[in-house]
Amino acid sequence: GSWDMYRAYRDMREANYKGADKYFHARGNYDAARRGPGGAWAARVISDARENWQSGVSGRGAEDTRQDQEANAWGRNGGDPNRYRPKGLPKKY
């Protein structure tokens, strides 16, 4: 699961595509959770740690953190990450 989370983060950084953040959150959690309970656990721990750090450091605010966590949970619970996919994001991702 941690590899799936890393891959989604790496792809997000590589894509550098405006509005794609939530898609990559959902995709990383989705991919990790598909590996089973251990993957879902890893996704939850990594997502929560990242959001706790980000909310205290980045200054993006509580609403951004809430939306990120919503996308995390959506993917982790088996929801299609494409719900958050922005128009024009290359098909590679």
Q: For residue 73, which of 26, 32, 7, 31 has the smallest C-alpha distance?
A: 26
Instruction: Select the more confidently predicted residue: 84 or 63.
Output: 84
- Express each pLDDT in 15-63 by its tens digit: 999 999 999 999 999 999 999 999 999 999 999 998 888 776 766 778 8
pLDDT in the model for residue 22: 97
Residue with tokens 């128009």: 87
**Residues 24 and 50 sit within 8 Å (Cβ to Cβ):** no
| pTM, entire model | 0.91
Closest by Cα among 54, 63, 60, 6 to 29:
6
CB 24 within 8 A of CB 8: yes
pLDDT given for residue 70 in this prediction: 97
| Alpha-carbon gap, residue 40 to 54, rounded angstroms | 21
Q: What is the pLDDT of residue 62?
A: 84
Question: Letter for the amino acid at 40?
Answer: A
Write the pLDDT tens digit of every residue in 11-20: 999 999 999 9
Q: 1-84 has which fold? A: Topoisomerase I; Chain A, domain 4 (1.10.132)
First-to-last CA distance in the chain?
18
Question: How many other CB atoms are found less than 10 A from the CB of residue 66?
Answer: 12
Q: Report pLDDT for 52.
A: 84
Q: What is the pLDDT, as a whole number, of residue 59? A: 64
